[in-house]
Amino acid sequence: MKLNLSGIRDTAGGISEFDFEERTVDFDFDREDIKNLGPVRVKGQIENLGGGLFQVTGQIEATADTLCYRCLTATQISLKIDFLSKFKDMVSESKEDEEDEEDEDILELHGDDVDLYPLILEEIILNWPSQIFCKDDCKGLCPNCGVNLNTTTCKCETNNIDPRLAVLKQLLKSD
Ligand SMILES: [Zn+2]
Ligand SMILES: [Zn+2]
């Protein structure tokens, strides 16, 4: 996922387009819920803004295998993420403009290649839904016996009550 900037490096206003796809993407972060990442398609453009600044804009389309939040069944999701990021050419950086850009989120650029890989992984993690369901009306697992209620009906459903209430019920019975 590397962009080569040699064509636009010395041309302010120069734009280079990219479009690439990876079948599977390796990730080294610790996320049990993400089983497989890919294919991931990234397309967009990088523009030389002048003054050693480059702006990347584009869209990520990613497919991933994960688990349903409620019933833990393997589920596939598709993400579409628009992103924008800036890179600063560390070679042409001068001391004066270091100050005023300090609070902006600008990534460092070393050499002619921009590796989008860490950026894309970060975008995917940031945009990862907090709860993913295999279907909108997923019934989840029985909190009592653990069966998947989408495929199995268990006997506990009727007396499926809060364990704290169960204690009360028990007390009432003994009275
Ligand atoms: Zn589910
Ligand atoms: Zn049950």
Give me ligand 1 centre to Cα 42, in Å.
Answer: 29
Q: What confidence score (pLDDT) does residue 87 get? A: 92
Ligand closest to CA 152: 2
Residue predicted with more confidence, 77 or 168: 77
How do residues 132-143 score in pLDDT, each as one tens digit? 999 999 999 999
Cα 152 to averaged position of ligand 1 atoms, centre (Å)? 13
State residue 102's pLDDT score.
57
- What is the pLDDT at residue 96? 53
Alpha-carbon torsion (134, 137, 141, 143), positive or negative: positive
- Among all ligands shown, which has an atom nearest to the Cα of 69? 1
How far, in Å, is the centroid of ligand 2 from the Cα of 17? 55
